[in-house]
Amino acid sequence: MNVSTAILERRAEKMFDPTFVINDDQATELLANATLSPTAFNIQNWRIVRVKDTALRQKIRESAWNQDKVTDASLLFVLCADLNAWVKEPARYWKDAPQMYQDMLIPAIDAYYRNKPQVQRDEAMRSCGMLAMSIMLLAQEQGWHSCPMDGFDFDAVGKLINLPEDHVISLMIAVGKRTQESFPRVGKLTLNEICFEDTF
Ligand SMILES: Cc1cc2nc3c(=O)[nH]c(=O)nc-3n(C[C@H](O)[C@H](O)[C@H](O)COP(=O)(O)O)c2cc1C
């Protein structure tokens, strides 16, 4: 499947087949490929919780508007980010790069994020957004389906997954096999409404 087809065919699916299984190797490959997505300064600040435990899935579903896909999809990922990834051994993000780049970029990381909580949080959401789309397109390529979700109680889900103090949740993604065709896309704005040339 080429990228355009994956983009054109991806939909936010509502109902998933609870008997359809994506195995551990397939899930690992999906995540290994998806985490090749870009992050600013290569800080890879995303942290992914794959929820396998069925009782935990049920509790998350209760905090997520009772959305069936939370329990029924083969895979459920909570995409989180470490707000302090920038300060946790940043040299590792440029290990093996030419020394010139290491000397330039490692101090630049510090300057970009230190004392800037809004930037740290924005970066968390940017990185997870990139990761989310990669997960969904890679899933599409496999013939699977997906749904991104922010329809849940972030504090409650954070408690359920033991979210560390300096981490945030960005969104959840369900991946599996849909049980029904999605209805045609609705309400798409025209390019004229959303694209501008040079300035607003
Ligand atoms: C960040 C984000 C959160 C979303 N949350 C939910 C959700 O909680 N439940 C749901 O059924 N769909 C959710 N959606 C799906 C959107 O409603 C859907 O992407 C949009 O209506 C466009 O439909 P399409 O993705 O099928 O083209 C979410 C999408 C995004 C990007």
148 CA → ligand 1 middle, Å: 6
Q: Each residue of 169-196: pLDDT tens digit?
A: 999 999 999 999 999 999 999 999 999 9
In angstroms, the CA 169 to CA 125 distance is 9
pLDDT in tens, 145-162: 999 999 999 999 999 999
Domains of the chain, CATH where assigned? 3-182 (3.40.109.10)
State the pLDDT at residue 197. 97
41-97 pLDDT per residue, tens: 999 999 999 999 999 999 999 999 999 999 999 999 999 999 999 999 999 999 999
pLDDT digits (tens, 9 = 90+) for 136-147: 999 999 999 999
Of residues 39, 47, 7, the one with CA closest to residue 146: 7
Q: Which residue has the tokens 């290569």?
A: 42
Smallest CA-to-CA distance from 178 within 10, 24, 17, 9 is with 17
The residue with tokens 């607003």 is 200
Distance (angstroms) between ligand 1 centre and the Cα of 155 equals 20
Angle value at C-alpha 13, between 152 and 193, nearest 5 degrees = 85
Q: Kindly report the three-state secondary structure assignment for every residue of 76-108.
A: EEEEEEECCHHHCCHHHHHCCCCHHHHHHHHHH
Q: Is the CB of 126 under 6 A from ligand 1?
A: no
Ligand 1 within 6 A of 149 CB?
A: yes
Query: Would the pTM of this model clear 0.75, i.e. be above it?
Result: yes
Residue 133 CB less than 6 A away from ligand 1: no
Residue identifier of the C-alpha nearest atom 22 of ligand 1: 12
The CA distances from residue 36 to 31, 39, 132, 145, 150, in Å, are: 9, 9, 12, 20, 23
